[in-house]
Structure 1
């Protein structure tokens, strides 16, 4: 979906809470990359989210720079203006996990695979084949995707297992293209 269509869709939705949540998620993704590179934060929100364990100057690699550019374009299209004077942590799904991830997804529209019927899917800590496995998604799980990936061939998914446990992570499998769900949404 193009950024203009996205901005138009958000503009016609009632209330600002949806856009605020979306912008908070984008702010987290962008700044988590800087925090991992050692950036220090001077705002209350930055310190509340990332702490004060930093080196000062952040140097991003090319992969991180491309991700930050994509995030900034989406923030501009949505006219995001996150209140960084607040000290309350962000209300972002899987915040603790996301803060530890070396690769950050970019908020996008949600899709869901209700009742996964395919073979097990491994979710990883990062968008790389050598990243630590977080969890295996077994058949019967519900899989959500509400983030785009700046990393070619990788998909960020959230999952609710049949046991009720929830998790999130990266996979190089496009489960939505495989089409093995009881039902699709989004």
Structure 2
């Protein structure tokens, strides 16, 4: 089955940086169902976000995970609505900075379901199963090919932008602890679409 070509959401609909200048827990939840549009020279791909995590450093002991790289603290300090990439086991993971300047917080986009542009993503990440293109944070970044190109830039870039989607109804929303953490493992700040095969296979920490 092919999902390309297909209509691409217009850049004029892109979420602005101001959307992210709020509580990261609220932003992480509201991003479920939103779309990521990635524009390449040969076409565009659209993915629907199905899994996110929130990190709010003043009240979150796990923030050492995202602050351990040189320059990380400065990036998280704001302004909000900027792309930020932290690394886990040498893999880049997609974050967006949240909250006003001076309040270190971010959301991590963990997984997204391909809506269109499947062939374009396959060209950048060879897999046997389509969900393995983007059913994890490192896989998603590799398939999109966005790091380090977008690091530090505002979220509304013509080459990659977020678009509002259909809100996820409560019966399709699951909330769990985040994945792979020792500190702050009890915080229920991971949001995902229940039963979606494109959600990452990672197990909650608690």
TM-score of the aligned structures, taking structure 2 as reference length: 0.28
Structure that is richer in helix per residue: 1
Greater RCO, 1 or 2 (C-alpha within 8 Å, sep 6+): 2
The structure with the larger Rg is 1
